[in-house]
Amino acid sequence: MPPKQESKRRGISPRDNKPDSLPASKQRQRPMSSKPKPRTERLQKIIAAAPTSKQRPRPETLKPKPRTDRLQKIIASAGITSRRKAEELIVQGRVTVNRQTITELGAKADPLTDDIRVDGKRLSNPADEKKVYILLNKPKGYISALSDPLKRPVVVDLVKNQKTRVYPVGRLDFDAEGVIILTNDGELSNKLMHPNFSVPKKYLAKVKDVPDAAALEKLEKGVRLEDGKTMPAKARLIRQTQENSWIELVVHEGRNRLVKRMCKAVGHPVS
């Protein structure tokens, strides 16, 4: 039987019966499949395409990104005063940035590069200043401030030996006594005083007569004052005398003379 027919019977292609005696130049070359290149070869191309050491920027030539913050935050962090008081200084035109007076509360600056001054005095670099924290038992007869227009004693007079400038966090009335914090940490001051953080503040007040349960409930739910309703608080009776009593109030805000106004609003003024 002819070879061609025999190959068909066996299921073999006729091309498979061709002898391999043909020279290599005349044999049909099959195209090579496109296999992925080895990883080392690709890595070498990546390294070759990367910039050389002469092209790469040196670390010392890279400019740091500006670190801008609101002016009132920078002033408070520098230990000049609290953030709320710093806002008043800005509105009053007592703050300059690079010799330009700033009166907008939304203004920003870079404390590391900008020339920021309050009343003409340049702020120190916050990164170089050590944080100071003083827990002071304020006696009666002192104002919780850095200065007083009436020339009354202020709490910072009690720490005159402290070289770093500190300011009081919060306030206690002139005729009140108790614990108060003095610091140059503006971030801490803001977290302790801002109502959004709801830091509790405990007061012991001597009031006229004896408040009943209804009066204490009003203090807890909030009372209406001229500057708005107070936030929820905690109130309880500690002890009583024939004419007065002592109550404990825990509040979460720092308004001026808040405890006295709350007690007066429920008919039991501080005595």
Burial (Cβ within 10 Å: 0-12, 13-18, ≥19) of residue 219: buried
Q: Quick one: which of 229, 151, 180 has its CA closest to 82?
A: 180
Q: Is 173 among the residues known to form the active site?
A: yes
Q: Which of 173, 185, 212, 227 is catalytic?
A: 173
CB atoms within 10 A of CB 103: 11
Alpha carbons 210 and 246: distance in angstroms, whole number = 8
Burial (Cβ within 10 Å: 0-12, 13-18, ≥19) of residue 230: buried
Instruction: Kindly list the catalytic residues.
Output: 173
